[in-house]
Structure 1
Amino acid sequence: MTRPSAVTTRKAGSAPDRDVSAILAGSHRDPFAVLGVQQSDTGFVARCFIPNAEEVAAFTLDGAFIGDLARRRAEGLFEGPISISKRQPIKYHARNQGGDWWVTDPFSFGPVLGPMDDYYIAEGSHLRLFDKLGAHLIDHEGATGVQFAVWAPNARRVSVVGDFNAWDGRRHPMRLRQDTGIWEIFLPDIGPGRPYKYEIIGPKGQALPLKADPFAFHSELRPATASVTTAPLSHEWGDEAHRAFWRKADVRRQPMSIYEVHAGSWQRPADGGFLSWDELADRLIPYVVDTGFTHIEFLPITEHPYDPSWGYQTTGLYSPTARFGDQEGFARFVDGAHRAGIGVILDWVPAHFPVDAHGLAWFDGTALYEHADPRKGFHPDWNTAIYNFGRREVVSFLVNNALYWAEKFHIDGLRVDAVASMLYLDYSRREGEWIPNERGGRENLEAVSFLQRMNAAVYAHHPGVVTIAEESTSWPKVSQPVYEGGLGFGFKWNMGFMHDTLEYLSKEPVHRKHHHDQITFGLVYAFSENFVLPLSHDEVVHGKGSLISKMAGDDWQKFATLRAYYAFMWGYPGKKLLFMGQEFAQRREWSEARGLDWFLLEHGAHRGVQEVIRDLNRVYREKPSLHARDCEPEGFKWLVVDDRENSVFAWYRVAPGHEPIVVISNFTPVPRPDYRVPMPKAGRWREIINTDAVQYGGSGMGNGGEVSALEEEHGPVATMVVPPLSTVLLEFVGE
């Protein structure tokens, strides 16, 4: 409940000097008990602080004169009796030698938040905090303005400051709701586009660096760091067909081919700036449609001060970064993608807590969002803080953020970064640098509970939205439901697949027979989780080079191996993810400071890789056998698993009601004529992908587009040509 303002019963114009001095000093603990409309023993008195004013008269909101106020202090404190019969909002007409102006009195308005908000916020169960906290343009008690609300329970004073009050924290101190520690104020007569921050006086009376709004919905473009008021999102959505499909779909049995994008460097304009959301929509969405991907996954697009962090050091979890425009622009992008049949996944970062002075660190002068003890609250890998997952208000802040992106922007999924760093108390720590949990173990039980709660809330309130964990350990049941003891994610990145296959293909082909298990071992655990196979940005930065540079051999072998690898991966069980530029064999390592090397598509070898990706995406989407049992063992069976001498692998994929598809990979530059492949069925098998085809830049070896499997003593066998450094996909077409 809100602490009631004290009732003034003194004669009009007789506020105690100590109250007046405290208001002028910005140190009063309850400014709403002094300023605004107060009741006296003879009626009502108005009191206001308007610096630089020499005369002030009071009026009702509809313009009726109700009294002149006397100047109590030269600094601008005015007070006097007013002729009204009941409490109501009022406004002032102020004058000085330079002119006159109107001021609507924020202290004459009642609170916006109510007792039920207090109840659910205090309980930690409020699921619409983004409609209550932050800055909201609203109509309130006959006026239009912005309602500000922020959680800072240990502060002595919190004020909104901005260009509308000369960044003077004495002008608009906020009302404290004691049961929740939330401060609020309604500021009439300001609208969207106004920069603001919070001026906070800590529990020891210390002035803190001005803080951005944790719930800001827009921010200034770096290097400026203020939050910016916005109008409510007004975009008219036209994506119901897209959303209705995914609400009903079993996403594990749908094709998911994800194009991972850093929005700031996919393409760059000639002036070195950034494409806007509308420009990205005009270019990126048609490109993704043309190349056949089903989803775009953005590296973090929330506000962040430092470009080389790629968005992972976010200081504005509720704010689409100003680099690309405003929230309306991002909504238009998502809507445009949905209308084109493309899903949008956001990289979401509750594992990183940057300590920039304007951010959440020591927000109210205490370790509010983070842990005070560095053994739980400091991340040695990134020199950042760690969220206090054991505090219900912090968990609510993060859970509400996940719900916010799903509700307000219709996003299709959240890929949660660095989950392992949250799950383990000793992550990247030496003995003595971490605190065991209540059971004496290394598991972060508070983080587990947070992740379970977040996933449960997203899946309960937004059917069709998926969550994906980047989790690099063997933590059990990452993608199992919470009610079965799992973390509740829809999918998990298969980091083992990525590392094992890239290491295998970096070896010279003559040595690969000694590392055959790096390919086969993955199938031992391939169905223990719902996996996404990621070839992500992490593999093409920090000196790792691009994917084409990782492949062994000369240039021809590199391109042939990369094409074969992609077809191997698209035929392998699991959803697919490829970082931008790798679809056309970007040669240089990725840098956020420049666009991709699109000129490479002038060369046939690079166009050939892009054509392979385009055809693989088409086949993967069109053939249920390649996707409908991505997460279930009955959809996969080895055909050739032990031919290490030739580095050949073969298996088939199948789904109920559909013909099987056979995948055959040869990871040596030696053609294999008359190679015998056991087949699932006797009959004709049509070649639907051959990465050695001339159109892709290959040598053109193959089987004339079709092979026949003949019944033999131990089952059907096809005798065929397996081209060098290639993957071939065959589809059964009849007896």
Structure 2
Amino acid sequence: MQRATERAAIEALEQGEHGNPFAFLGPHRDGDGAFIRAWLPGAQRVELLAASRGAPTGDGPPDGELLGEMAQPHPGLFCLRIEPPRDYRYRIHWPDSVQETEDPYAFGPLLGDLDIYLFSEGNHRQLGEVFGAQLARHEEVDGVRFAVWAPNARRVSVVGNFNAWDGRRHPMRLRHPSGVWELFIPRLGVGEIYKYEILGQEGLLPLKADPLARTSEPPPATGSVVAAPLDYSWNDAEWVEQRPQRQAHDQPLAIYEVHVGSWRRHGERDGRQLSWAELSEQLIPYVLDLGFTHIELLPIMEHPFGGSWGYQPLGLFAPTARHGSPQDFAAFVDACHRAGLGVILDWVPAHFPTDPHGLGRFDGTALYEYAHPFEGFHRDWDTYIYNLGRTEVHGFMLASALHWLRTFHIDGLRVDAVASMLYRDYSREPGEWIPNRHGGRENLEAIDFLCHLNDVVNLEVPGALVIAEESTAWPGVSRPTREGGLGFAYKWNMGWMHDSLRYIAEDPIHRGHHHDELTFGLLYAFSEQFILPISHDEVVHGKRSLLDKMPGDRWQQFANLRLFFSFMWTHPGKKLLFMGCEFGQWREWDHDQELDWYLLRYGDHVGVQSLVRTLNQLHREEPALHRLDGNSAGFRWVIGDDHSNSVYAWLRHDRDGATLLVVHNFTPVPRNAYRIGVPLPGRWTVLLNSDDELYAGSGAGSRGELQSEEQASHGEAHSLILDLPPLGSLVLKPAEN
């Protein structure tokens, strides 16, 4: 019977089907001694050496002394009995080298019961420091501890150059009932490339990258890389301490959205992408000069396909190797903070790509994704949908979010495609979706996850922002969860974006017929904490650049763009602008080449950039433009019904009563001697005229100081006579007496 069992074990090892290698390999008590087995296919000879680790065991042989040469009863299998049992290591004679190493199968269980328990209940918030490949010193031996979740696998092995990518060499231990596989490989270190070889119920799967890898090979290679814990000496304690105040709702928030691979390059087309160090030297001063408060990065989590812009990531714990190491990325964030800039990352918990080395059918079954395609597959993007109702997946994604916020001191996460998470029938026809347990269309598991995410972030990373890209009328997206909301800090105002871009693209002669498209957004502007987004999505796929959307001749296009920015920056809501828009790039964004920086040789492009700089300065210095963004008390209409002239005017208020008057003329016709009621008598100062020569405008319209008249208008006892510039905006403030 024993011989039959041994033959079966050898056959399973030989065929790569042994799912419990610790039951056969390594040391096993044999009376007063131990019987040791090693499975080393391809080895010629194996010697057993004495090892001294941990507490001394008596008068045994010294470290390195030969205990004996192991017998080879079957090709690849080496055996030896020693007496008494003691620590040992192998000297393995390969055809072209000799290797000394401890036996991976001589070590006991690795992960603690608490780690296993927290993972299984979906509440392990430090997965990035426990699972994956972790440098470890185990029983006085240095090496790497591997841990991966694959509950339906028959066998999981770690493979890499260190074992010639032979899955028979390092099969892992299964920890029942969690489905976690683990193995400690002695003497392995930082920089080793590895993957997991997984034998599913129906056969061998493509090699899988580590879902918890903290760094990977630069694409197009797909191997995971053993990384040391982040060893970076942070210098941003003051920023982190002040973050809850800096990022409060009553503070200015103007975000510059960046795709780091195409902001600048070494060479205009097909040049090398900038490193994090180069981005620190070039991007940070540029954003500071323009007066933005935050940089938002399109996803920098590792992703196989550059053309996804990062929105199809597979390395949810790894900064992409395209721009440097995790330490380099940490240094970039630190430099932003020391310069006074916040950093927001786009983060994608809604879906993941189908690349064979990724998460899809990870152990041969639908593990991270829903099994049914009506729940688990996005036809719009050809991606899988996370099954956030599974506790392990819920916890995996929660740990990913916390990893970026805590490990890299990130100031906020913009959650991509929230609408697709909230609705089970998102982009599906009747009969192509599965209702929830109540028969409704809401994805209850995703809702629970988003609420949990926001509650945990608020608790564990005070002041960090979680922002929803949510395009529907779902109520309470930015309302606290204790009040029945989803708990986000902000929601992107997609309705404002669509309405305003549709309006501004109209020929001015027709704008009077579309007047309500600009006023409509103020009906719901205070129902959420909103960010007004002009993002990358609006300048790709045939939508044309922002400047190219503008109607009219060249002068009118630039005037319309300046007017649009003035409208956006004076409208209630925080601001987000995609790179290149700030200087009026003509062509659509192309992720394969840098922005058209040569355009800044021309005055009209410089003028747009100068206006954005001024608008950010006003936004930052005038509390009326930011302090009550999400409160109706901070806004009052003055003129909202002048369809014939396409003129809009409103007041912005601070909580202490400070007031600004904002006037927009959306036609190319100067409106001279235009009377507007004001709430305060006296002198008013023009803070901004978007048609000023400073911005390459025509120089028309009011400027300087104006005296109000005691003549009623627009419900006020006093009024101003203004000259409204063509396709221009004015911002006025009561002069100090």
Fold conserved between structures, TM > 0.5: yes
157, 160, 165: which one aligns with 2:158:
160
Q: What is residue 52 of structure 1 aligned with on the other side?
A: 42
1:638-695 alpha-carbon deviations (Å, 9 max, x no partner): 1111111111111111112362111111111111111111112112221111110001
Q: Which moved more, 1:511-520 or 1:698-707?
A: 698-707
Aligned equivalents of 2:427 and 2:168: distance in 1?
45
Q: What is residue 626 of structure 1 aligned with on the other side?
A: 625
CA shift at 1:97, angstroms?
Answer: 6.4
Aligned equivalents of 2:4 and 2:151: distance in 1?
31
* C-alpha contact 1:127 1:396 (8 A) present in aligned 2: yes
Over 3 Å counting, the alpha-carbon distance change for 1:24 and 1:661 in structure 2 is same
Aligned equivalents of 1:401 and 1:113: distance in 2?
19
* C-alpha contact 1:67 1:80 (8 A) present in aligned 2: no
Q: What is residue 16 of structure 2 aligned with on the other side?
A: 26
Q: What is residue 648 of structure 1 aligned with on the other side?
A: 647
* C-alpha contact 2:710 2:719 (8 A) present in aligned 1: yes
Q: What is residue 59 of structure 2 aligned with on the other side?
A: none
1:386-535 correspondence to structure 2 within 5 Å? 386-535=385-534
Q: What is residue 60 of structure 2 aligned with on the other side?
A: none
Aligned equivalents of 2:4 and 2:47: distance in 1?
18
Aligned equivalents of 2:340 and 2:252: distance in 1?
12
CA shift at 1:96, angstroms?
Answer: 5.4
Aligned equivalents of 1:614 and 1:250: distance in 2?
20
Is 1:379 matched with 2:391?
no
> What's the TM-score once normalised by structure 1's chain length?
0.96
Aligned equivalents of 1:509 and 1:420: distance in 2?
33
Aligned equivalents of 1:53 and 1:622: distance in 2?
72
1:306-705 correspondence to structure 2 within 5 Å? 306-657=305-656, 659-705=658-704
* C-alpha contact 1:219 1:322 (8 A) present in aligned 2: yes
Q: What is residue 217 of structure 1 aligned with on the other side?
A: 214
Aligned equivalents of 1:14 and 1:37: distance in 2?
20
* C-alpha contact 1:675 1:722 (8 A) present in aligned 2: yes
Letter in 2 for 1:433: E
* C-alpha contact 2:19 2:171 (8 A) present in aligned 1: no
Aligned equivalents of 2:337 and 2:472: distance in 1?
33
CA shift at 1:95, angstroms?
Answer: 2.8
Is 1:726 matched with 2:728?
yes
Q: What is residue 79 of structure 1 aligned with on the other side?
A: 79
Letter in 1 for 2:417: A
Q: What is residue 38 of structure 1 aligned with on the other side?
A: 28
Letter in 2 for 1:173: P
1:138-177 correspondence to structure 2 within 5 Å? 138-177=136-175
184, 190, 193: which one aligns with 1:192:
190
CA shift at 1:636, angstroms?
Answer: 0.6
1:116-147 alpha-carbon deviations (Å, 9 max, x no partner): 11221222222111111111112211111111
Aligned equivalents of 2:342 and 2:466: distance in 1?
13
Letter in 2 for 1:44: A
Q: What is residue 56 of structure 2 aligned with on the other side?
A: none
1:330-370 alpha-carbon deviations (Å, 9 max, x no partner): 11111110110111111111112211100011000110011
Structure 2 residue matching 1:311: 3-state secondary structure: coil
CA shift at 1:433, angstroms?
Answer: 0.5
Aligned residue pairs total: 722
> What's the TM-score once normalised by structure 2's chain length?
0.96
Structure 1 residue matching 2:526: 3-state secondary structure: coil
Letter in 2 for 1:161: V
- Where structure 2 has 5 or more consecutive residues not aligned to the other structure, the ranges are 53-62
Identity of aligned residues (%): 53
CA shift at 1:408, angstroms?
Answer: 0.6
1:155-304 correspondence to structure 2 within 5 Å? 155-204=153-202, 206-249=203-246, 251-270=248-267, 272-304=271-303
Over 3 Å counting, the alpha-carbon distance change for 1:83 and 1:728 in structure 2 is farther
Aligned equivalents of 1:269 and 1:160: distance in 2?
38
Structure 2 residue matching 1:729: 3-state secondary structure: strand
CA shift at 1:446, angstroms?
Answer: 1.2
Q: What is residue 6 of structure 1 aligned with on the other side?
A: none
Structure 1 residue matching 2:229: 3-state secondary structure: coil
Structure 2 residue matching 1:569: 3-state secondary structure: helix
Aligned equivalents of 2:501 and 2:723: distance in 1?
26
Aligned equivalents of 1:667 and 1:109: distance in 2?
74
Aligned equivalents of 2:483 and 2:14: distance in 1?
59
* C-alpha contact 1:67 1:81 (8 A) present in aligned 2: no
Letter in 2 for 1:104: E
Aligned equivalents of 1:593 and 1:648: distance in 2?
41
CA shift at 1:83, angstroms?
Answer: 4.2
Over 3 Å counting, the alpha-carbon distance change for 1:494 and 1:184 in structure 2 is same
Structure 2 residue matching 1:521: 3-state secondary structure: helix
Q: What is residue 5 of structure 1 aligned with on the other side?
A: none
Letter in 1 for 2:122: G
Letter in 2 for 1:715: A
CA shift at 1:26, angstroms?
Answer: 2.0
Letter in 2 for 1:95: H
Aligned equivalents of 1:73 and 1:663: distance in 2?
89
CA shift at 1:16, angstroms?
Answer: 2.1
Aligned equivalents of 1:259 and 1:67: distance in 2?
66
CA shift at 1:76, angstroms?
Answer: 2.5
Q: What is residue 102 of structure 2 aligned with on the other side?
A: 104
Q: What is residue 719 of structure 2 aligned with on the other side?
A: 717
Over 3 Å counting, the alpha-carbon distance change for 1:648 and 1:97 in structure 2 is closer
Aligned equivalents of 1:135 and 1:506: distance in 2?
52
Structure 1 residue matching 2:586: 3-state secondary structure: coil
Aligned equivalents of 1:454 and 1:652: distance in 2?
37
Letter in 2 for 1:610: Q
CA shift at 1:110, angstroms?
Answer: 2.0
Aligned equivalents of 1:210 and 1:113: distance in 2?
24
- Where structure 1 has 5 or more consecutive residues not aligned to the other structure, the ranges are 1-8
126, 131, 134: which one aligns with 1:133:
131
Aligned equivalents of 2:43 and 2:437: distance in 1?
60
CA shift at 1:244, angstroms?
Answer: 1.0
* C-alpha contact 2:19 2:156 (8 A) present in aligned 1: no
1:490-512 alpha-carbon deviations (Å, 9 max, x no partner): 10000111111111111111111
Aligned equivalents of 2:175 and 2:218: distance in 1?
32
Q: Which moved more, 1:117-126 or 1:260-269?
A: 117-126
CA shift at 1:424, angstroms?
Answer: 0.9
Structure 1 residue matching 2:733: 3-state secondary structure: strand
* C-alpha contact 1:111 1:186 (8 A) present in aligned 2: no
Over 3 Å counting, the alpha-carbon distance change for 1:47 and 1:14 in structure 2 is farther
* C-alpha contact 2:702 2:725 (8 A) present in aligned 1: no
Aligned equivalents of 1:198 and 1:95: distance in 2?
25
CA shift at 1:250, angstroms?
Answer: 5.7
CA shift at 1:53, angstroms?
Answer: 2.8
Aligned equivalents of 1:178 and 1:324: distance in 2?
40
Over 3 Å counting, the alpha-carbon distance change for 1:296 and 1:98 in structure 2 is closer
1:398-436 alpha-carbon deviations (Å, 9 max, x no partner): 111111100111111111111111111111111111111
Aligned equivalents of 2:51 and 2:402: distance in 1?
38
CA shift at 1:522, angstroms?
Answer: 0.5
CA shift at 1:706, angstroms?
Answer: 1.6
Structure 1 residue matching 2:265: 3-state secondary structure: coil
